Structure 1
Amino acid sequence: MSNTETWHLELEPVDAWYFGDAGPYDMGEASQTESKTLFPPHAPTLVGALRAMLARAKGWDGRSRWNEGTNVDLRLEEVLGKDYWDLGQVRFEGPFLTRVQSNSDANEVMVPMPLHILGRMKELDTKEKTEVWEPAARLRPGNNAVLCDMGRVRLPKIASDKPERGLKEPEGIFVTVAGLEAILRGDLPATSEVVRSRDLWRGERRVGLERERESRTAKEGALYSPTYVRLKPGVRLTMGVSGLPEDWVSEKFTLPGLMPLGGEGRMASVERLEGAAMANAPLEAIAENGRMSVTLLTSALLTPDDTTVTWPRPHSALAENIPGTIVSACVGKPHYIGGWDSLKRKPVAPQPFVPAGSTYFLEDVDADLETLRQLHGSCIGRRQAFGFGQVALGVW
């Protein structure tokens, strides 16, 4: 019997992490000396590592198929799935960044800033050269439709009679749960609730080479220079896990202290959190006005199948379970997410995902409070078991 309780697992690097993107990293090529790490990592990277960790905790030897071996739990395939895309009965949420609050031991969750929030850099201290990203304006659907390549569309415009110049989209900007709640209500978040990526992690470039055994000199074409990611103190990655059997989540079941994660099998410590807060949504206002915004907290696979690359467009529905019609949207550039199938020993073809932070504006939303309550925090699109497509509902 599976458990509906969600575990929130906190992952902290022992040293530094490396998460490669979909680009080549082959010996002798120029990309070997220009490899950058991808952070935060996409869900399949963490899902694969956590599935392997849970399997090892239940007797898997790390080499054989999950149901083979003398001391292995024979339910591994049923619980954790049979291949790359089949997750069995387990479900994941995230990943999200968390940070220990300076005035307490509690963790605060951070998500990518919604793309309909614009801001500017503001200098706090000239001598110390410290800056913050200050939210300054919101985007909303324009009043008049404009003819473009998608037909007649109400393109986003700044929700102000006297818009400022020089405002920029929130690239590399995160917001806390408290700040997200303000955005969902139609307000701007406080500057104190905004965090830049440079305050959460930094890149760390390293150089390596292979030497000739005889001459002990550098081997031609064997120089590589990856960029690792080093988290700032108190910053973690968090992933939610649900659907585990009752005996797996009992007090007798203990998590391993360490697990390999990312490129080169670098280590991460694993701890269980009591829970992660979810932003509240103004559901009553949505039900009354019949308009709502849908913001992606995690990347979403919104293509209908593996061969089609078309995303939802204006004048259509966003997803089968989302009421209303798309009026306009603030959507980022696609993320092509693939992976590595360890059973077939070949890469998984990358697919275009709508990035987290993208926001859709809908109208003609006919739904009661209970329906909206179930939608808030749920997932849309495909591959939902990986945590893709988690949404937050707001007003506009």
Structure 2
Amino acid sequence: MSNSVTWTIEPIDTWFFRQGTPYDLGQQVLTGDVVFPPHMSTIQGAIRTAIARAQGWQPGQDDKWPDILGTPDDLGEMSLEGVFLQKNGQWLFPVPRHLMKTHQNLIYLKPGPLVDSDLGSCALPIVDVTGSEDDKVSEIEDAYITEEGLILCLQGQRPPMNSLVPNECLWQTEIRTGLTIHDQTQTAEPGLLYQSTHIRLKKGVAMAIRVEGIPREWQESIHAFPLGGEHRFARVTLSENSIPIPPFQVHPSRDGYVRAFATLITPGLFTNPSHVLRYGPFSEPCLSAVTGRITMRGGWDLKRHMPRPLRPFIPAGSVWFYRLTEDAWDSLKRLHGHHVGLEAEYGFGHIIFGQWEE
């Protein structure tokens, strides 16, 4: 049987995912502390635990943990792709950060002429086209882009506005209030209330993760598993559907140069993230970049019962522009649909290329 399968994951009720901030008695998890979609650092542990349980493992039985599922510090023979979102079966992707919006249209940023700045001589991003003098250009925040929209974006064409799917069409937050229960009496502790913010997905919305390297028969008995805080359960459906990575469509221009941009569709983990933000993830330095802020993500160490250290990730959607000779381009284009940076087996640094026009 195939050792590559896609997990489509839906909540049974709500989910509780938060940032790596303290959450102790008397503290609150507000909307700004919520993380969705959850980071792969969180998902991978839940998936591996579910597979191990299906093979007879229970917490504390280290001798029954399947070797192919790795250790707390590696995935063993497993590799993962994601985390991606789906709505009614349609795949959604992070919006490339050089795609901007006006009141009625989507437009692009592109490298401008060389200027002197605090970064040295560089080509800062400028607006490619504006709809009118009255149009205000703004970033696209809190939205995803459809597969069809992403393909147009990689071709250098402007996708329609309806190719964007706002977060509010995918999920909503819910404030939950609870109280502390005394361990011995199982009654409420007076005055010890807590508050958390949960995620409720809209109808038809799910997460999708590709699991490779593990026999499918090991996974077929898994129909639900705990995911996230408070051991909220998730429902899982297995399929052979692969991630629809857009086709490679970058071509040399008439002057012989290749004008390509690289964009991450999953967060990237790098040895020197500040260098990558400025110069790009390849040995060939970029011409210009439009990147997001570094985010700190950790996870939970099930074996050691403690949080994992926070690490800096470059967010998905970050874009780097290149103007390359065909010889220099030959060494980069093979990376389309592959990974750059550290821990590719976790799905980090999934990168694709598109074309821009000067």
SS in structure 2 of the partner of residue 182 of structure 1: helix
Match of 2:238 in 1: 272
Please point out which of 152, 155, 158 is paired with 1:185. 155
Aligned partners of 2:297, 2:79: CA distance in 1, in Å? 19
Higher mean C-alpha displacement, 230-239 vs 189-198: 189-198
Alignment partner of 1:291 is 2:259 = yes
Number of corresponding residues: 352
Alignment partner of 1:159 is 2:148 = no
Alignment partner of 1:219 is 2:190 = yes
Change (3 A) 1:278 1:162: closer
Alignment partner of 1:282 is 2:249 = yes
SS in structure 1 of the partner of residue 299 of structure 2: strand
Alignment partner of 1:139 is 2:137 = no
Change (3 A) 1:34 1:295: closer
Shift, 1:366, TM fit = 4.0
Match of 1:131 in 2: none
Match of 1:46 in 2: 43
* Corresponding letter in the other structure for 2:282: A
Q: Is the 8 A contact 1:7 1:273 kept in 2?
A: yes
Structure 1, unaligned runs of 5 or more: 101-106, 122-133
SS in structure 2 of the partner of residue 310 of structure 1: helix
Shift, 1:54, TM fit = 1.3
Please point out which of 239, 244, 260 is paired with 2:209. 239
Aligned partners of 1:161, 1:347: CA distance in 2, in Å? 46
Aligned partners of 1:239, 1:177: CA distance in 2, in Å? 16
Aligned partners of 2:302, 2:9: CA distance in 1, in Å? 22
SS in structure 2 of the partner of residue 291 of structure 1: strand
SS in structure 2 of the partner of residue 51 of structure 1: helix
Change (3 A) 1:81 1:217: closer
Shift, 1:55, TM fit = 1.1
Aligned partners of 1:41, 1:289: CA distance in 2, in Å? 39
- CA-based RMSD of the aligned residues comes to 2.8
Alignment partner of 1:202 is 2:166 = no
TM-score by length of 1: 0.81
Match of 1:319 in 2: 282
Aligned partners of 2:47, 2:148: CA distance in 1, in Å? 29
Give the percent of matched residue pairs that are identical in Structure 1 and Structure 2: 30
Higher mean C-alpha displacement, 225-234 vs 163-172: 163-172
SS in structure 2 of the partner of residue 54 of structure 1: helix
Change (3 A) 1:207 1:157: same
Aligned partners of 1:348, 1:380: CA distance in 2, in Å? 22
SS in structure 2 of the partner of residue 255 of structure 1: coil
Shift, 1:139, TM fit = 0.3
TM-score by length of 2: 0.89
Aligned partners of 2:266, 2:260: CA distance in 1, in Å? 18
Match of 1:126 in 2: none
Q: Is the 8 A contact 1:339 1:347 kept in 2?
A: yes
Q: Is the 8 A contact 1:146 1:155 kept in 2?
A: no
Aligned partners of 1:189, 1:162: CA distance in 2, in Å? 14
Aligned partners of 2:179, 2:7: CA distance in 1, in Å? 36
Higher mean C-alpha displacement, 370-379 vs 265-274: 370-379
Q: Deviations over 1:45-64 (max 9, x none)?
A: 11111111111122212432
